[in-house]
Amino acid sequence: ELEEVLKEDGADLLLDDKSFSLELWLELIEHAQQQCPAFFRLIDRIEQDMEFGRPPALKDLVFEVDLENVVTKRANLFVFMHNLSKKSRTVVFRVQSPDFRPNQISMRYDLAPGKEMWWSSESLPIAIEGNEDVLGKMTGLLRDGTMAWQTLLPERFGEATVSVRLEEVSGDLLIGRQINVNVRNEFRRRLRRIVTLSTQVMGSLVITLATVLEMLEIFNV
């Protein structure tokens, strides 16, 4: 399966390298998931849509966007677009939020058509030989598509909203979404962790002490 994503030489290099053990790969993936959960949610949604043969948000354009539900220092906004038509097209992606900096973002993308039709209207198996599976289609889709990563800096704590719009160059709306997030104080989050850990440790000590006292009482020590 790895060889469908990487070239054969690259896959062999990673698989044969003693530094990259299975445990290390799992740790790296887990760390990435913790740091950028929105990216993995976005990929998971596309994968599920492909697996069950769901149509994309737009007839001739794959569009997915995601942002963390809980934000502390910064928010990571991920956007994926892929042109399913046979002609190049230009779109404008806009981000608006009074709760983050920058408050407004406008980016223009020239989307070339994919080399193949990577989206299927029928359900697909996860992995089989060839490209007629989710893994093969996802590989081509991500390779030919456009992924954007925008960092947003919160200006206040509490509930916040981020509005995203995908438009034609003329300004006509193609699709729009509003994302609600919660901006939390990093100090409070760490303090909450410390308090929770301290409570767990104290609880364990109390249980241990009670057990020892009970044993001493049983043996009349």
Task: Quick: pLDDT tens for 98-155.
Answer: 999 999 999 999 999 888 788 888 888 888 877 788 888 888 888 889 999 999 999 9
Q: Assess contact for 111 and 163: CB atoms under 8 A.
A: no
Q: For 49-63, 180-194, 201-215, which range has the lowest pLDDT when averaged over its residues?
A: 201-215
Task: Identify the helix (H) or strand (E) that includes residue 219.
Answer: none
Q: CA separation (Å) from 210 to 83, 91, 191, 215, 221?
A: 66, 67, 28, 9, 15
> Which pLDDT score, from 0 to 100, does residue 128 have?
81
Task: Quick: pLDDT tens for 156-185.
Answer: 899 999 999 999 999 999 999 999 999 988
Q: How far is 99 from 117, CA to CA, in rounded Å?
A: 39
Cβ neighbours around 177 below 10 Å, total: 15
